[in-house]
Every structure is written in C-alpha cells, then in structure tokens.
Structure 1
Amino acid sequence: MIDLDAATVLLQWAAGGLFFLWVTSRRREVGIGYGWMMRTTFGLIAAGGVAAGLALDPVPVREVAGAGMVTATAVALVIS
C-alpha cells in the first residue's frame, strides 16, 4: 500500500509551483512582484516540507534535496 507522506507532498507541490514560475517568468510575461510572491510562497511550502520531514519521518535524500531547493529559492529571491 502507498503511504501519503506530508513532507513529500509539500516538497512536490513547491517544486511544481517553482517550475510553473520559471515557465511564466522566463520571458518576462509577468511582473517582478509576481515572482517575489511566488518564490516566497513556494519557498515557505518547501521549508515546511523539510521541517515536516525532519519532525515526522526523516529521509536523508529528501531532506537534503529539499534544503537545496529552499536555499536556491532564497538565493533567487535575494538576487531578484
């Protein structure tokens, strides 16, 4: 049976949202504020996924990848 893991769901949701942000913002089709809002929102969702993973059922590869996603999102937010 498949187990539904909250940390994995949150990280997948954040990854999908950040991918959608990349698709919509790569040709400057949306304003800069939209990018800031989306990076903040999905960065926080990813951070929640990492926190949930560490608190409930740690999987080292997932947590490291999630922390990398949070870091990359924060760097992109600071640069923009």
Structure 2
Amino acid sequence: MISIPAGIARIDLFSFIIYTTLGSLIWNSVIITLGYFMGSNWQLIVLVFEDYSLIVLAIALLFMMYGLVWWYKKRIKR
C-alpha cells in the first residue's frame, strides 16, 4: 500500500526501492527476532498485539488523514 502515496508524492523510483527494501529488512528482522526469542510462546505476542491493534490502526489513520490534508493544502497553494 505504500506505493500509492509514493506515486502521489512522485518519489523517485530508485529512492522508493531503496527505502522500501531497507524498511522491509528492518521490519522482517524484528519479526524474525521476536519469533526466535518467543519460540513456542508466540501466542503471547498475538494476545498483546490484539489488545492494541485498534489503537494502532486509529493512530495510523490519523497520520494518513493529516498527510492527505497537508498534501491537499500544499497542492492548492500552487
């Protein structure tokens, strides 16, 4: 889903690929490390994140709305 806002913002393809790759490597490293250390207790992670998933979703939506408003105002000024 990140490619849609990247396209709207006209981010250079090379930069997009580099940043997306780095972000994916970091995120996957965190997930793999958590899985390794939690082992068979992985269900604890699910329980913890289940409680906060709606809060994280709401915060993400607020950031997206803020970004869209900022982008729209910037575009109107042109």
Normalising by structure 1, report the TM-score: 0.40
Normalising by structure 2, report the TM-score: 0.41
By relative contact order (CA 8 Å, sep 6+), the higher-ranking structure is 1
